[in-house]
Structure 1
Amino acid sequence: MAILEQGVGLVINKKTGLIFFPAFDWAISPTHPEREERLLYTRDQIFEEGVMDLPQIHEYAPRLASLHDVSRTHFCVPRVQSQVTEAHLIAAGSTLQLGDSVVSGEIKNGFAMVRPPGHHAMRVVHGNRGFCSINNEAILVEYLRRRHGIRKIAIVDSDAHHGDGTQDLFYHDPDVLFISFHQDGRTIFPGTGFTNELGGPGAYARTLNVPLPPGTADETFMYVVDNLVLPVVKDFQPEIIINSAGQDNHYTDPLGSMRFTARAYADFTKKLKPHLAVLEGGYAIETALPYINLAIILALADVDYSYVMEPDYWPGRFKESPEKTAQVHRMVEQLLESWANRDKVDIPKIFGVGKYYQRKKFIYYDTDYIEEEQIEKVRMCADCPGYIIIESRAERGYRAPVRIYAVSIPFQACHSCQSEAYDVYEQAKKQGECDYIYMQDKSTDTCITYEKDKGQEWVSEG
């Protein structure tokens, strides 16, 4: 994209912004796959190739997200400070830095190469799951809405693991399109992300999942992009496109069973044209990440990436099963049909006709060994997406279970839902059955935490 400098006639290309944050002081364990070397090898490769000297590239220093940026998005139990370190705030804040720079027109796009990752962090956070504590992309979405008034946003998740946290956060939001293509959840963590997960009653088919069979390679990857992702994103007409740029679909990744190449990641990036890419998974530290990240950066900056190829790869190395390819083609057709009919379906027939749509969820925190039982209720409203009520009970080992009650008012809330939600919150305080009670009012950017034992409220406002 180019802009014409008025009165001079010079064409100036906007730059691609980069932020590196290896998080030297954060680790799950010294030998854990999610460690700082994930970014250090990439940085060495990029400097060796002279990428940082290109005029199309601008490197930014990372910055901190605020605690309120997190509480605007999550219910952290018992409080945000209990679940995040400075490294988490810097990883999230780096996305906000690039988001500001894109919206202001300072850069055309950006890539936040940061850790810790975030796309498995859900609305409620009792601990770390899937290496994630808070959701960097979701925090960015809510920040862009509040700070810049952006309404429609598309998130495309290309990680091998289903972005269940991002899906959970926007499952009832009609203004966020979430598309995830990933390794079939029957064969990999977190065991979700199937085609019948299409969004709640007010956001039907704004969630689209493509569970790909293990062994899927570039040809099918590009088929999904060309025939589903690109036409749906174009039809949705988002103001901002975000790529959750997981790289564990690579053929050398130790935690996945897919066969994507660095060149395919670059082709995908060039076609999608995301405004912002945010690093998620990818654990082949030497054999994949330096090549994929380099290719993505070059694609974002509109620089030739044809020379980027892994040393052990040759064209035609991977052959895909015709049966599996046909299966994916059928999935794409099914999802396109769901998308085309999103506003024509009989919502009461699918979700019922009561005051609330309710679902029960069982969530396992594989990193912190926490078991959570959750009931989620969504107010069925004709005028807005409806407020959300969450009742959550979490157990960790022999510790006493923690019970919370949380109310979330959407950014687009009508006056009736907002008023009713505050009544629900006050009633929960009077009943005194939960350890912590939360109010998250996105329409006014106000977050309240009530602790039963202390009988005290903490209010955070943007």
Structure 2
Amino acid sequence: MRRTGVIFFPAFDWAISPTHPEREERLLYTRDQIFEEGIMDLPQIKEYKPRLADQKDIARVHFCVPNIATQASEAHLVSAGSALVIADAVMNKEVDNGFSIARPPGHHAMTVAHGNRGFCNINNEAIMVEYLRKKYGIRKIAIVDTDVHHGDGTQEIFYNDPDVLFISFHQDGRTLYPGTGFVDEAGGPYALGSTINIPLRPDTTDEGILTILNHLIIPLLGMFKPELIVNSAGQDNHYSDPLANMRFTARGYAELNRKLSPDIAVLEGGYSVETALPYINMGILMAMAGIDYSNLREPDYDSRKFRESPANMDYIKNLITFQLHNFEQRAEKIAENRSRYGSEFREQRQVFYDTDYISENQSRRLKMCRDCQGWHSIDSAARHRNGEYYHVFCISIPIYACAKCQQEAQKAFQDMQKNGSSTYDYIYLQDKANDLYVSLNTANGREEVI
């Protein structure tokens, strides 16, 4: 018998608007269904109480502009903290696995956070990963994102990290927000192959998604050999979801979680509040706890509507072959990149915050290193909907950065403190190696250390 930890946090005091799809009812119907079915009375299930994440937990991942309090409400801190409670329970062997059924969601939130995009302000899974690394010394972690929308925030946060395998299957970005998640998005120069995107055609069914799981995702996990598997558990691939066009069922989600066998699942999207979410969440919880879910079925389920087309199966098989080849060639390609690139890698990026209508321009620089993954800086400028304009400079040192990179990045921050006040509103240092986080308000010279 497996023991599964679970947390419910509906966030009664947080909503984008009273009628917005991302609202408290997403969890209330689930909670009622699970209690009515008696799932919470079973010995396999252990319920935990949520807690607040600390500011330092947020600062390990995000540069919140202008500060954490602006971007992370108490509800956000509890949602992130719920994932940390489950992580502790799993790591301390109180349970075999756990499911944080909490909101607000987070997988669209990127390293720099100017506001809400895709209903997300801070990234719960990324915060949990850095927490696990710092507290328990875990290095290799796999994140499998099963949300119908591409997990672009999680991808961006770990894009240059070879120790995090990020796998996302989602409805093709040409047909759905956020318009990303294509196969050529494969990881940064030193982490090529550690990002695996699986863009699926609309109306893909259980058969197609489980084929991807059996023949691509599980083999990739076997080759990567993570110490921990995290399911970024979006549920909007369901056939009744109003924001997408896929054909996954509640039993399909249960079967996915049985086969994937994640150590931790963290709730993401899913907006079919009454007709899908109670069944999906119950199926995931039953699968994680080893409870028979063979009788799980939505009231309107009709098997005749869920047959995969031969053309789509051919597309899926070609996609599997392509991505397996990419992953198997990653070491060779990374070696080529170490020879190809000089001391740094630069790129420009534009980010749109669809919820808050913020347009952000980024200039990013990755300092290359032969001994570690290097360190990076982000020059970010954004105009907010209320007219406020922020121009900030961010320096990030990875937790496993070598001593040379740590020294270089720290010196760069010191130089910016002296010379950047006329250009930037805020200058930030995110030193994961020393668990130190500094924010400088250049207007008044006030420095905040977390």
- Per the normalisation by structure 1, the TM-score is 0.95
Provide the residue aligned with 2:438 in structure 1: 448
Asked whether the 8 Å contact 1:83–1:127 carries over to 2, the reply is yes
Provide the residue aligned with 1:272 in structure 2: 260
Provide the residue aligned with 1:164 in structure 2: 152
Asked whether the 8 Å contact 2:7–2:49 carries over to 1, the reply is yes
Asked whether the 8 Å contact 1:22–1:40 carries over to 2, the reply is yes
Provide the residue aligned with 1:296 in structure 2: 284
Asked whether the 8 Å contact 2:347–2:364 carries over to 1, the reply is yes
Residues 1:258 and 2:257 aligned together: no
Letter of the 1:72 counterpart: R
Letter of the 1:457 counterpart: E
CA distance in 2, matches of 1:401, 1:29: 25
Provide the residue aligned with 2:401 in structure 1: 413
Provide the residue aligned with 1:6 in structure 2: none
| Secondary structure of 1:385's aligned partner | coil
Residue identity over aligned pairs, in percent, reads: 55
Q: 1:91 to 1:400 in 2, by over 3 A?
A: closer
Most deviating of 24-33 and 350-359: 350-359
Quote the offset at 1:228 in angstroms. 0.7
Residues 1:285 and 2:269 aligned together: no
| Secondary structure of 2:77's aligned partner | helix
Letter of the 2:8 counterpart: F
Most deviating of 414-423 and 424-433: 424-433
Matched residue pairs, number? 448
Letter of the 2:162 counterpart: P
Q: Deviations over 1:139-182 (max 9, x none)?
A: 00000000111111100000000000000110011111100000
Asked whether the 8 Å contact 2:190–2:337 carries over to 1, the reply is no
Q: 1:270 to 1:450 in 2, by over 3 A?
A: same
Quote the offset at 1:311 in angstroms. 1.0
Asked whether the 8 Å contact 1:72–1:142 carries over to 2, the reply is yes
- Pairwise CA RMSD of aligned residues? 1.2
Quote the offset at 1:375 in angstroms. 1.4
Residues 1:214 and 2:214 aligned together: no
Most deviating of 262-271 and 419-428: 419-428
Q: 1:398 to 1:70 in 2, by over 3 A?
A: closer
Structure 2 gap segments, 5+ residues each: none
Letter of the 2:316 counterpart: V
Asked whether the 8 Å contact 1:14–1:106 carries over to 2, the reply is no
Structure 1 segments, 4+ long, off by >3 Å, are 346-352
| Secondary structure of 2:314's aligned partner | helix
Asked whether the 8 Å contact 2:189–2:334 carries over to 1, the reply is no
Q: 1:347 to 1:370 in 2, by over 3 A?
A: farther
CA distance in 2, matches of 1:316, 1:350: 52
Q: 1:349 to 1:172 in 2, by over 3 A?
A: closer
Provide the residue aligned with 2:170 in structure 1: 182
- Residue among 102, 111, 117 paired with 1:123: 111
Asked whether the 8 Å contact 1:373–1:394 carries over to 2, the reply is yes
- Residue among 161, 171, 181 paired with 1:193: 181
Provide the residue aligned with 1:338 in structure 2: 326
Asked whether the 8 Å contact 2:191–2:334 carries over to 1, the reply is no
CA distance in 1, matches of 2:405, 2:58: 23
Quote the offset at 1:359 in angstroms. 1.5
Quote the offset at 1:327 in angstroms. 1.5
Q: 1:141 to 1:399 in 2, by over 3 A?
A: same
Provide the residue aligned with 1:458 in structure 2: 448
CA distance in 2, matches of 1:382, 1:356: 11
- Superposed counterparts of 1:59-78, under 5 Å: 59-78=47-66
CA distance in 1, matches of 2:410, 2:221: 35
Quote the offset at 1:325 in angstroms. 2.1
Provide the residue aligned with 2:222 in structure 1: 234
Quote the offset at 1:353 in angstroms. 1.8
Residues 1:48 and 2:40 aligned together: no
Provide the residue aligned with 2:80 in structure 1: 92
CA distance in 2, matches of 1:251, 1:27: 25
- Superposed counterparts of 1:361-372, under 5 Å: 361-372=349-360
Provide the residue aligned with 2:126 in structure 1: 138
Letter of the 1:360 counterpart: Q
Structure 1 gap segments, 5+ residues each: 1-12
Asked whether the 8 Å contact 1:201–1:351 carries over to 2, the reply is no
Letter of the 1:19 counterpart: I
Quote the offset at 1:350 in angstroms. 9.2
Provide the residue aligned with 1:9 in structure 2: none
